[in-house]
Amino acid sequence: MAQPTYGWQPPGRGWREEDLRDLPENGNRYEIIDGSLHVTPPAGPDHHELADDIRMALRQAAAPGWRVIREIGVRVPGGNLIPDVTVLRPTAPRERMWAEPADVALVVEVESPSSRRHDRFTKPALYAEAGVPAYWRVERGDFGPVVYRYELAKDDHYRLLGTVGPDDPVQVAEPWPMTLDPGRWPR
């Protein structure tokens, strides 16, 4: 049986940002980690709904000029990542496909079975190395979403600030003072 032919071939060197333009627009998430292409299948409706609710909660609490974007790329050392939600500073240039880490105040990753290891280990290390000051990882617990809040510490790593579950809304300072209440998001 003949193998399917795709309209692109891997480069003869490590993957670069410009190579992403040649990949099919098929709903997959294409990210580059240390010159290797990582492909994640499209997330399901529940994942997108939760990411939308997180984005809305952040937008409603944001000061003028701050932007809260779904699935914009962020440049990191050795590659490019696409968080589920990114908070951009008011000074961030508009109309860019890839944000510079200095323009990012917070990234949020909503865990899926296909992204769990990357969201827990690979991505936080790269965001921290890039200097992104805050990282939230959101898991779906048995009783609703749980947010693991991290802040950038010395030596380019994150320090856990705490967890916030659906029954314990708290005041947070990142990316700005607001009440974080996962109980208002879908289970």
What are the tens digits of pLDDT across the range 61-108?
A: 999 999 999 989 999 999 999 999 999 999 999 988 899 999 999 999
Query: What total of structural domains would you count in the chain?
Result: 1
Q: Quote the CA–CA distance of 26 and 40 in Å, as a whole number.
A: 11
Distance between CA atoms of residues 32 and 180, nearest Å: 31
Spell 154-167 as b/e; 16+ CB within 10 A means b. eeeebeebeebbbe
The label of the residue with tokens 């300072």 reads 173
User: Which residues, in sequence order, are bridge partners of residue 160?
Assistant: 150
Q: Which domain holds residue 141?
A: 43-184
Over residues 122-151, the pLDDT tens digits come to: 999 999 999 999 999 999 988 899 999 999
* Predicted TM-score of the model (pTM): 0.91
Start-to-end C-alpha separation, the chain: 45
Q: Is residue 112 part of a domain?
A: yes
The residue-averaged pLDDT of 175-181 equals 95
Residue 8 resides in a domain: no
Average pLDDT, integer, range 46-57: 95
User: Considering the domain boundaries, does residue 21 fall inside one?
Assistant: no
Domain at 96, CATH number: 3.90.1570.10
Q: How many CA atoms lie within 13 A of 103 on its CB side?
A: 22
Q: What is the pLDDT of residue 114?
A: 83
User: Does the residue 168 lie in any domain?
Assistant: yes
**Two tokens, residue 106:** 């917070």
